[in-house]
Amino acid sequence: MLKVNLPRYTIDGKTILETLSFTLHEAQNLTVLGSNGAGKSTLAKILCGLYKTRKSVQFDGAYIETIPPRERSVLINYIPPKLQIYEQYITVEAFLGLSRFRGTGREKYLHEVLDLLGLSPFSKSYCAQLSSGEQQLLLIASALMHGAKITIFDEPTANLDPNKIKTVYEILQSERLAQKIVITHDLQLAYRLGYPILYIKAGRGTLYETAEAFFDAQNLETLFHGSVKKVCDAIVVQL
């Protein structure tokens, strides 16, 4: 169980998050929504221990700052919105080899993941040579290889064409990963996933126990002032 009780978080004297509290139970997934700069990515980094807090985040009763890094990596994994490569000549296979492998048949699973995401033709290519969309799929592949108890995806469908968005959606809906937290601006994705929704505005979070509650017509009007509507079982931005 993941339990968050964050009274306030500041960076360089600026308050980024405050009065944010929620609980993620075993096997429960979550979508995080909010405008640009609302604090969504900051929250993700706090949950992973990349940003330090004191007694604000608990995993199964243990505060994150007390959990050793190796054990913490088993519990939670953060997938950023953009691939960052520090070695220009690292290949796709080598990059995925850096992920924490578990269980038997490691090589077989690696190729299964490459096939699943359509990356097999690029297995020997340098990561830096991939397109932005292919790099996004590589990040998804690394999450599958890592296999943490909770995986946080920060904008997992960014730079993807419709077919690849569907592939990622199917992975998120599958049981390949135990628990997922999905940060996104894609309201249609959030709607179709159907997870409970944490909506962050001006650093404050409101938890909707169901996607249906968030995408209620009256709530959409309150939050988006007519710019977003539900039409024929789809979420549409009114341009």
Q: Where are the beta strands (DSSP E) in the chain?
A: 2-11, 14-24, 30-34, 57-59, 62-63, 76-79, 150-154, 179-183, 197-201, 204-208, 228-231, 234-237
pLDDT at 101: 57
| Whole-number pLDDT of residue 37 | 87
Burial class (CB in 10 A: 0-12, 13-18, 19+), 199: buried
DSSP 3-state assignment of 226? coil
Name the fold adopted by 2-86+147-237: Rossmann fold (3.40.50)
Rounded distance between C-alpha atoms, residue 206 and residue 30, angstroms: 12
CA distance 76 to 74: 6
112-135 residue pLDDT tens: 999 999 999 999 999 999 999 999
The bridge status of strand 197-201 relative to strand 30-34 is parallel
Return the pLDDT at 143. Answer: 95
Can you give the residue ranges of every domain in the chain?
2-86+147-237
Ranges of the chain whose pLDDT falls below 50: 104
pLDDT value of position 103? 53
